Amino acid sequence: MSDRHTPSNERAAWDALLVDIVDYVRDTPIDSARAFDTAHHCLLDTLGCGLEALAFPACSKLLGPVVPGISVINGARVPGTHYVLDPVQAAFNIGAMVRWLDFNDTWLAAEWGHPSDNLGGILAVADWLGRNAAGLRRAPPTMHDVLRAMIKAHEIQGVLALDNAFNRVGLDHVVLVKVATTAVVAHLLGLDRERMLNALSLAWVDGQSLRTYRHAPNTGSRKSWAAGDATSRGVRLALMAATGEMGYPSVLSAPTWGFEAVSMHGQALRLARPLGSYVMENVLFKISFPAEFHGQTAVEAAILLHQQLKATGRSPMDIAQLTIRTQQACIRIIDKQGPLHNPADRDHCVQYMVAIALLHGRLVAEDYEDDVAADPRIDALRARMQCVEDAGFSADYLDPEKRSIANALSVRFNDGSDLPEVVVEYPLGHARRRGEGMPLLRDKFRRHLAHRFPTAQQQRILAVSLDPVALASMPVTAYVDLYLPT
| pLDDT value of residue 1 | 45
55-85 pLDDT, tens digit per residue, is 999 999 999 999 998 889 999 999 999 999 9
Compute the half-sphere exposure of residue 391: CA atoms within 13 Å on the CB side of its CA. 0
| pLDDT value of residue 2 | 46
H runs (alpha helix) in 174-290: 174-188, 193-205, 222-242, 259-263, 278-282
157-168 pLDDT, tens digit per residue, is 999 999 999 999
Angle formed by the axes of helices 87-100 and 119-131, nearest 10°: 140
The burial class, CB within 10 Å (0-12 / 13-18 / 19+), for 112 is: buried
Please choose, from the candidates 63, 192, 33, 41, the residue with its C-alpha nearest in 3D space to the C-alpha of residue 119: 41
Averaged pLDDT for residues 284-309: 94
Mean pLDDT for the chain overall? 95
3-state secondary structure of 332: helix
| pLDDT value of residue 486 | 86
% of the chain surpassing 90 pLDDT: 90
Please choose, from the candidates 63, 104, 57, 103, the residue with its C-alpha nearest in 3D space to the C-alpha of residue 365: 103
Compute the half-sphere exposure of residue 209: CA atoms within 13 Å on the CB side of its CA. 22
168-188 pLDDT, tens digit per residue, is 999 999 999 999 999 999 999
Distance CA 237, CA 9 (A): 25
Distance CA 481, CA 10 (A): 51
CB 382 within 8 A of CB 322: no
| pLDDT value of residue 216 | 85
Residue 134: which pLDDT band, with cuts at 50, 70 and 90?
confident
Helix, strand, coil % in the chain, rounded to nearest 5: 55, 10, 35
Averaged pLDDT for residues 214-243: 96
330-365 pLDDT, tens digit per residue, is 999 899 999 999 998 999 999 999 999 999 999 999
What 8-state DSSP symbol labels residue 95?
Answer: H
| pLDDT value of residue 44 | 98
CA distances to 230, 445, 454 from 306, rounded to whole Å, are 39, 26, 35
| pLDDT value of residue 471 | 98
DSSP assignment string, 271-289 = -SS--SSHHHHH-B---S-
Residues in the chain: 486
CB 151 within 8 A of CB 277: yes
Residue 271 has pLDDT above 50, yes or no: yes
Distance CA 192, CA 460 (A): 38
CA distances to 149, 251, 382, 409, 473 from 262, rounded to whole Å, are 30, 11, 40, 42, 45
Beta bridge partners of 84: 77
Residue 3 has pLDDT above 60, yes or no: no
* 319-326 and 385-389 strand pairing: parallel
| pLDDT value of residue 6 | 64
Compute the half-sphere exposure of residue 273: CA atoms within 13 Å on the CB side of its CA. 11
Distance CA 233, CA 238 (A): 9
Residue 321 main-chain phi, psi, to 5 deg: -150, 135
Residue 389 main-chain phi, psi, to 5 deg: -75, 135
Residue 4 has pLDDT above 60, yes or no: no
At residue 303, what is the residue type?
Answer: I
Residue 108 has pLDDT above 90, yes or no: no
CA trace torsion 184, 189, 194, 196 (10° rounding): -20
